[in-house]
Structure 1
Amino acid sequence: MIRHPNMEIFELLDLINQVEADAHTLDMEASVHLSSIVEPDCPMEGHAFYQSCIKAVLIKHQPIWSKAMRSGRRRFVRTLNPNDQDVFAAAGLMEYPTPHQVVTWWDAVSGYARLVSDQEKMEQGRFAEILTLDHERARLNAIGIDKEPEWPGFDDNYAGYDVLSYDQGETGLQNRMIEVKSTTVSPLRFILTRNEWQKAERTGEAYIFHVWDMNKETPTLHVRTVADIAPHIPSDNGKGKWSNVTVPLVIVQA
């Protein structure tokens, strides 16, 4: 680049391939890509260099296996194939006893993997709420209610429910408060917070749960009432109070 300052990078790669006998054994394009994503002050040798490169690739490309980093170093590495295990070992990331700098590296990268996972969960949850809004618009139209469902859960995380819709009652139009959940786990289950349950319990029959099974190509809706959920709610004991509970989605056979 010093001799040819005006040459584009890929033109330089062609030139290197022409003048260097061993150039064909090197993945020069990958090197160029790597240089574009590592930190500007990245160390250029030793374990620190390889650690910077691995971190840059994980953050930039978020490979599917990176999510397993949250499970702990040894458990995560066992999920990799031998070649990938060798990469982490060559970067000094598997040393025992573990140097403080390596601990910091794993915590930083695992923390990023958690942030990515949390972002994905939030996006899935929002998509489920949009599915409920669409579902309620169609239902209201079908029963002749000329009103638009509202989305209080988007504006207030402590509202205690996500979507406000409506139903025909004996005394006229009634509110229908909907808590929206999404799940991809098997067997199907979802997390319910104490605040959500307290709101549901106070509201009674006007409060329902929309649980979307996101495993299907077209997500499947399961509707549950407060009475359906109540048997799965734990009790406080002594000075302990529950804050979150995992509720199984019991499928009712027709």
Structure 2
Amino acid sequence: MTLLTPGLALSALDLLRLLHRNALTASGLLSDLKRVGGMPSAEALSLSQTLNWLEVDGDGVLHPTPAGQRACSQGDYRLALRQVILDFADIVAPDWLQNATYGRSRVLAFAGPGIAQILVEAEVATGVADDVVEFWDLLASMARGYRDDRLLAIGRRGERLTLAHEEARTGASPRWIALDSNQDGYDVLSVKAADDPAPLSIEVKTSTVGTTGSMYITRKEWEQATDSPNHTFHLWDLKAPSPLLAVVDVAEMARHIPTDGGTGEWREVRVPFGTFTSLFNAVSL
């Protein structure tokens, strides 16, 4: 898709308004109208389709979707551009979106000149008016959802690898605890060995950036680890061509867990994957 710019955004909005007044098919639009709002009609059509602003009826005629109607009904130029950004972030989930959780200066620095200019013209690049703050809060909320979805997908990959590894190691089918509930403080329930059916709880941590990544251990996860008779941590490095696994026991992990002090109480700790570099090995699955 063509890079998003203020001109392209406004052309897509103009296209929606045009379709309110005229019955056009996609082919008719492209053949009869070369430009919309100063931009090639093909680019305006492409952006509108990307943002799910258009639908086609049984006769092939283009109509604005509810999302498209919402975008083009914004009477104020600034509000219309804000809606473009929000729809673009929601549908496309561009790389720059993750910066919204760190504040608008990060977005303006990393989003590229087209997006930055839209934000300037939408009058959200500066200022602290309530509507400006609300815009950035919405964008940050989208970013957190996108980031959480991505982290969940990465975590699930590691959990699946642990399930396969444990079945190969023990000959028994482990239970995927985290799939049913994330409140138990561990992810997989296996057994100690093929000849030892004692339960083994496993907390799985996964990195796609190798040993430069970090894991986060919550207090609940640590309490589960220390309360369980048999518990271990599986650390998966997915950066390598083939997955690498480090199996870390509770005693080894304990060296990197903080203690409470005074009235203070720790809730979460970050531990670098690189701490356990020597423990990573290739596994056959």
TM-score by length of 1: 0.84
Could you list the per-position Cα deviations for residues 104-132 of structure 1 after superposition, in whole angstroms to 9, with x for gaps in the alignment?
11111111111111111112112211110
CA separation of 1:10 and 1:53: change in aligned 2, threshold 3 A: farther
Verify the 8 A CA contact 2:154 2:208 in the aligned structure 1: no
Name the amino acid aligned to 1:198: E
2: CA distance, partners of 1:23 / 1:179: 53
SS in 1 for 2:260: coil
**Does residue 143 of structure 2 align to residue 113 of structure 1?**
yes
| Aligned 1:197-216 pairs, distance under 5 A | 197-204=222-229, 206-216=230-240
CA separation of 1:128 and 1:94: change in aligned 2, threshold 3 A: same
Could you list the per-position Cα deviations for residues 61-111 of structure 1 after superposition, in whole angstroms to 9, with x for gaps in the alignment?
11111111111111221123334322221221213x332211111111111
2: CA distance, partners of 1:152 / 1:245: 22
Deviation at 1:202, TM superposition (A): 2.1
CA RMSD of aligned residues (A): 2.8
CA separation of 1:217 and 1:11: change in aligned 2, threshold 3 A: farther
1: CA distance, partners of 2:232 / 2:279: 20
1: CA distance, partners of 2:90 / 2:222: 37
CA separation of 1:25 and 1:12: change in aligned 2, threshold 3 A: closer
CA separation of 1:166 and 1:24: change in aligned 2, threshold 3 A: closer
Identity percentage over the alignment? 29
Verify the 8 A CA contact 2:169 2:194 in the aligned structure 1: no
Deviation at 1:26, TM superposition (A): 7.5
**Does residue 33 of structure 2 align to residue 16 of structure 1?**
yes
Question: Which residue of structure 2 lines up, in the alignment, with residue 174 of structure 1?
Answer: 198
Could you list the per-position Cα deviations for residues 26-84 of structure 1 after superposition, in whole angstroms to 9, with x for gaps in the alignment?
83323542543745233154111111111111111111111111111112211233343
Verify the 8 A CA contact 2:189 2:202 in the aligned structure 1: yes
Question: Which residue of structure 1 lines up, in the alignment, with residue 70 of structure 2?
Answer: 41
TM-score by length of 2: 0.75
Question: Which residue of structure 2 lines up, in the alignment, with residue 65 of structure 1?
Answer: 96
- Alignment gaps of 5+ in structure 1: 142-146
Aligned pair partner of 1:104 in 130, 134, 138: 134
